[in-house]
A and B are shown apart, each in its own frame.
Chain A
Amino acid sequence: MRWLLLKDLQILRRSPLQAFLLVAYPVLIAVLVGFAISRSPDKPRVALLNEVPAESRVAVGTTELPDIGVNDRICARVECVKVNSHAEAVDAVSSGDVLAALILPADLVDRINSLSTPSPSTPEVEVILNEEDPVKARLVNDRINALLTQANLVIARRIAHEGGKFVGLVVNGGQFTVLGQAIQILGLGNTARILHAVRAALPPGELRKSLDEVLRFTTLTRSNLGTAGTLLTRLTQPIAVDKQVVNASTPPLEIFAIAVAATFTLAFVTVLLVAGSLALEREENAFPRLTRGLVSPAALLTEKVALGVAVGLLVTLLMLAGLAFFVPLHWSRFGLWLLAILAGGAGLGAAGAALGAAAREVRAVSLLAFMVTLPVAFLSLIPSGTVGPALNDAIEVIAALFPFKPALQAITGALDPAGPSIAGALLHLGILILAYGLLARLALRRFSTV
C-alpha cells in the first residue's frame, strides 16, 4: 500500500498547479467562510445627518432634560459616517459606501417637546435604505429599528424620571425652579399636617366635617401618588427578560468560525483528492491491472482514504496554525484536534471514495464532489429554527448522511475547551466510514469491467 501512496504523492508533486489548487482553493474558501462567520455584524456603516440644533433639549413641562448624547448613542451601535446634507446621505447609500442613512431633522426635539402640549405632533426621523440586497437591507432595517426603539426607551426613561420628581414634589413638597426662580412647593404631606393642626382648633360642626373630607382626600391621594413614581419607571420597560440558556455547549463565535473553516478545508481536500485519485486509477486503466492479485480493492480504497486523510490533516493543521495568529487556540488540546481531524478526514475520505467509484473520469468526479460537498456543507450550517419544521427535519437528515456535520461537531468540540464531548460525533463518523466504505467497495465492482 505504501508504494501506491508514494505513487499518488509523486503524481501530485508532478502536477504543481493541481496540488496548489487543491490546497489553495479550500484554504481560500475556508478563510472566506471563517471571516464571513466571525466578522461581527454589530456595526454596519450608516451615514448620520444630525440637523438638530446643538442647544436643543427635550423638555418635560417647563424643565429641560440634560443632553442625552444622541450622536454617541447611535454611533456606539453602528459605524457612523458623518454627512453634511440630505443629498450627500442619499449618495452615500446609493453608492454602497454605507448600508443606510439616518437623518435627524432639525425640528425633531421641537416635535418631541410638543408631545406634552395640547397640539402634539409626531416626531419623525428619516431612514434611507438601499434594498439592492434584501438580506443586507433586512439586517440594516432591523438594526435601525432597534436603535430607534432604544432611543424611544431612553427618552421615555428620562421623562419617567422627571415625572417621578414632579410627583415627589406634589407628595412630599420641596423646591421647584421655573425660569431661574425657586418656588417652594408645600406638598400633600405638609398640607395634611397643617390641616390636622387646623382641625384640632375647630369646634365640632359642619366646617370640621368638611375639613375631615379634605383630609381623607389628601391622605388617599398621597398614598396613591406614592406608588406613581414606581409605576412610571415600570412603564418604560414593563416586560423584563429572564433569559435561560438551554444549550450551554454553544461554542464562542470565533471558535465556531475556525471549526467551520477547518472542516471546509478538510472536506474539500479529502473528498476531492480521494475521489479524484480513485477515478484516476480507472482513467489510466490501471485498476484491473492492480487488482489482478497485486492489490485488493479494499486495500486500494484504504490507500486512497489514507492519502486524503494525510494531505487533509496536513493542510488543516497548517490552516489552524495560521489562524492561531489571529485567534488564541488551545494547543493543549492538540491530541483531540488530531483525533477529530483524523476521524473527520476518514469519514469524508470514505464519502470521497464512494463518489470516486461512482464516476468514470477525474473531471466528472471532481464536479460531482463539488456538487455534493458544497450544498451539504452549507445545509449543515443552517441553524435549527430558521426554517420550517419539515424542511428543518429534511436538512437534518441530509446533513446526518454526509460526514461534514459530524466532522464539524468533532472539530468544534476538539477546539472548544468548554465544548461537549466529541464521542458522539466520532461514533457518527465511525458509522459513516463503514457505510461509505461499503458503498465504495460495491461501486468498485463497476471498475473491473474492461
Chain B
Amino acid sequence: MDAGTGTAAAVIEARGLVKRFGEREALRGVSFEAAAGELVAVIGPNGAGKTTLLSILAGISKPDGGEVHVPEGEVGWVPQQAALYRQLTVEENLLLFARLEKHADPQASVAEMLELTGLGERRGDVVARLSGGNQQRINIAIGLLARPSVLLLDEPSVGLDPRQRARLWEFVSALVAERGTTVIFSTHDIQEAERYGKRLLVLADGEALFDGSADGLRGAVREEAPEAASQDFETAFVAYLHHRGH
C-alpha cells in the first residue's frame, strides 16, 4: 500500500482490519488513520469493502480481526440510505434525535441545524416530500447532532442530481473548514473523490491499494498503467485496478 499522510495526530485509527461474511473476506487487513479536519474519500468499485470499513469505524459492526481506535462518542455516522422518519417533519426528526442525544436545549440545537442545512423555511415539511438532496442534508445534520469530531458519510451523493450534489459538497466542505470536523466519505465515483477528497483511500476486494492525495493517485496510475495515462482519469483508474489484479 502507498503511504498515508501521517502529517498530524490521528483522531481515528484502524489497524489490520479483517471482516468476513461467511466464506467471503470483505476486509483483508486494512489499516487507516485520519487527522483532525481531514476530508478523506474512500473509493473503490462495488463490493470493495467501503461500507464495511465505515460501519466498523462507526461501531455498527464488529471486525473479525484488527483494532479500531476512535474518539468515544464523537463519531457521527450517516448511512447511505437516509435514516429518517419520512412521516415526520424536518423539525420533528431533528428534535427527536437532539432529545435522544440529551442536548441541554434541543430546540436550540434544532435551530442551529436548520440554519446549517439552510432548511429553516422547510422545517414544517414532512421529510417524504423533500428532494433526495434535502433528505440527505437532514440525514447529515442528524449525524452532526452528536457534535462529532469525526463524521462518516456512506456514499452521500448517491441518487442526487448535479445541483444537489454541489450543494451537498458545499455543506460538507464548510463543516471541515469552519468546524474542523474530520469527514470520511465513501464513493465509487472517482471524479467526485478526486474533486472533494483531500486524501483518497482506494479499496478493492477488501484490500487497501492506495492511501494518499489525488495527485499521488494519478502518479500511481501513470506508473502502474502507463498505457492508460493519457485517457480520462476514470478509465486510467480502472486500468490501474486491473493491473493490481482487481
Contact = CB atoms under 8 A, between A and B. Distances in A.
Contact of A284 (B73, B86, B97): B86
Interface string A283-303: 011101110111100000000
Nearest to A6: B96
Contacts of A10: 87-88, 92
Interface in A145-202: none
A342 B153 CA distance: 43
A152 to B, nearest CB: 69
Contact of B84 (A14, A284, A450): A284
Interface centre among A3, A293, A450 (most CB of B within 10 A): A450
Contacts of A286: 83-85
Interface in A287-327: 288-290, 292-295
Contacts of A249: none
B83 to A, nearest CB: 4
Chain A interface size, under 10 / 10 to 19 / 20 to 34 / 35 or more: 20 to 34
A292 B97 CA distance: 12
A330 interface: no
A448 interface: yes
Contacts of B59: 292-293
Interface in A1-50: 3-4, 6-7, 10-11, 14-15
A284 B85 contact: yes
A11 B79 contact: no
Q: Summarize B's interface: helix, strand, loop or mixed.
A: loop
A332 interface: no
Contacts of B228: none
A2 B93 CA distance: 15
A295 B100 CA distance: 8
A293 B86 CA distance: 22
Contacts of B51: 450
Contact of B55 (A290, A295, A450): A450
Contacts of A295: 100
Contacts of B83: 284-286, 288-289
Nearest to A13: B87
Contacts of A449: 61
B87 A14 contact: yes
A15 B58 CA distance: 33
Given A7-B96, A14-B126, A292 B77 contact: yes
B86 to A, nearest CB: 7
A4 B81 CA distance: 21
A184 B59 CA distance: 114
B100 A3 contact: yes
Nearest to A288: B60
Interface in B59-92: 59-61, 73, 77, 79-88, 92
A293 B76 CA distance: 11
B58 A448 contact: no
Nearest to B51: A450
A288 to B, nearest CB: 5
B101 A294 contact: yes
Contacts of B97: 289, 294
A15 B87 CA distance: 8
B99 interface: yes
B85 A289 contact: no
Interface in A259-292: 284-286, 288-290, 292
A14 B85 CA distance: 11
Contacts of B138: none
B100 A292 contact: no
Contacts of A448: 60-61
B142 interface: yes
Given A7-B96, A450-B51, A289 B77 contact: yes
Contacts, number: 63
Contacts of B80: 450
B127 to A, nearest CB: 10
Nearest to B76: A292
Given A3-B99, A293-B73, A294-B101, A285 B85 contact: no
Contacts of B85: 7, 11, 284, 286
Contacts of B142: 289
B101 A7 contact: no
B100 A285 contact: no
A14 to B, nearest CB: 5
Contacts of B92: 7, 10
Nearest to B79: A285
A302 to B, nearest CB: 15
A360 B59 CA distance: 22
A432 B86 CA distance: 34
A258 B59 CA distance: 50
Nearest to A287: B83
A11 B93 CA distance: 11
A7 B100 CA distance: 11
A276 to B, nearest CB: 12
A285 to B, nearest CB: 4
B98 to A, nearest CB: 9
A292 B74 CA distance: 11
Contacts of A15: 87
B81 A285 contact: yes
Nearest to B101: A294
A53 B81 CA distance: 86
Contacts of B81: 285
A65 B68 CA distance: 104
Nearest to B88: A10
B20 to A, nearest CB: 14
Given A11-B88, A14-B87, A15-B87, A292 B60 contact: yes
Contacts of B55: 288, 450
B81 to A, nearest CB: 5
24 contacts: A3-B99, A3-B100, A4-B96, A4-B100, A6-B96, A7-B88, A7-B92, A7-B96, A10-B88, A11-B85, A11-B88, A284-B86, A285-B81, A285-B83, A285-B84, A288-B77, A289-B97, A293-B59, A293-B73, A294-B100, A448-B60, A448-B61, A449-B61, A450-B79
Given A288-B55, A450-B61, 16 more contacts: A3-B96, A6-B96, A7-B85, A7-B88, A7-B92, A7-B96, A10-B92, A11-B88, A284-B84, A285-B82, A288-B60, A289-B83, A290-B100, A293-B73, A294-B101, A450-B79
Interface of B: 51, 55, 58-61, 73, 77, 79-88, 92, 96-97, 99-101, 126, 142, 154
